[in-house]
Amino acid sequence: MIKELMNSPWTAALVVLITQIIFIYFRTLNVIYVADRRVWASIFTGVVIGASWLIAISIGVGAINAEQWQPLTAHLIGGAFGTWWAMRHKSVRK
């Protein structure tokens, strides 16, 4: 599946953008949940982090090898947007 995505750098960029937004958003939430000692929320966000990281990194490495700029640019934009989106989430202290 990754090889098929790499045939179209714009499709790969879209997938990387989405997975990077998901990764950064859930990573920021994970830090908040760990600080709040919310175990199940931390476990769930950790699983989402792992899955989205594997997808984004697999495509990103292929993009570097194929010298495709689109997925790499999408990676940076997705990371910035995901951070902004997650920082709007409020911490819940008990």
Q: How confident is the model at residue 89 (pLDDT cuts 50, 70, 90)?
A: low
Please give the DSSP secondary-structure letter assigned to residue 92.
-
Please give the pLDDT value at position 49: 96
Q: What is the mean pLDDT of residues 71-79?
A: 89
Spatial CA neighbour of 71 closest among 4, 5, 3, 1: 5
Kindly list the domain boundaries of the chain, sorted by start residue.
20-87
Q: What is the rounded average pLDDT for all residues in the chain?
A: 86
Q: Is this structure's pTM higher than 0.85? A: no
Please give the pLDDT value at position 90: 61
Whether residue 82 is predicted with pLDDT greater than 70 in this model: the reply is yes
